[in-house]
Chain A
Amino acid sequence: KAGVTQTPRYLIKTRGQQVTLSCSPISGHRSVSWYQQTPGQGLQFLFEYFSETQRNKGNFPGRFSGRQFSNSRSEMNVSTLELGDSALYLCASSTGAGGSDTQYFGPGTRLTVL
Chain B
Amino acid sequence: DAKTTQPNSMESNEEEPVHLPCNHSTISGTDYIHWYRQLPSQGPEYVIHGLTSNVNNRMASLAIAEDRKSSTLILHRATLRDAAVYYCILRDGDFGNEKLTFGTGTRLTIIP
* Residues of chain A at the chain B interface (Cβ within 8 Å): 4, 31, 33, 35, 42-45, 48, 50, 55-56, 58, 90, 92, 94, 96-108
Q: Which residues of B contact A94 (CB under 8 A)?
A: 98
Let me know if A98 and B102 touch, CB within 8 A: no
Bound form: Cα–Cα A55–B94 in Å = 13
Q: List 10 A-B contacts (CB under 8 A).
A: A42-B103, A43-B87, A43-B102, A45-B100, A56-B96, A92-B43, A92-B44, A99-B92, A99-B93, A99-B97
Q: What is the interface residue range for chain B against chain A?
A: 20 to 34
Query: Which of B17-25, B45-53, B59-67, B71-79 forms part of the interface with chain A?
Result: B45-53
Query: Contact: B45 with A105, CB < 8 Å?
Result: yes
A-contacting residues, B29-54, CB 8 Å: 30-32, 42-46, 49, 51
* Nearest CB of chain A from residue B78's CB, rounded to whole Å: 22
Known: A98-B91, A99-B93, A100-B51. A45 touches B101 (CB 8 A): yes
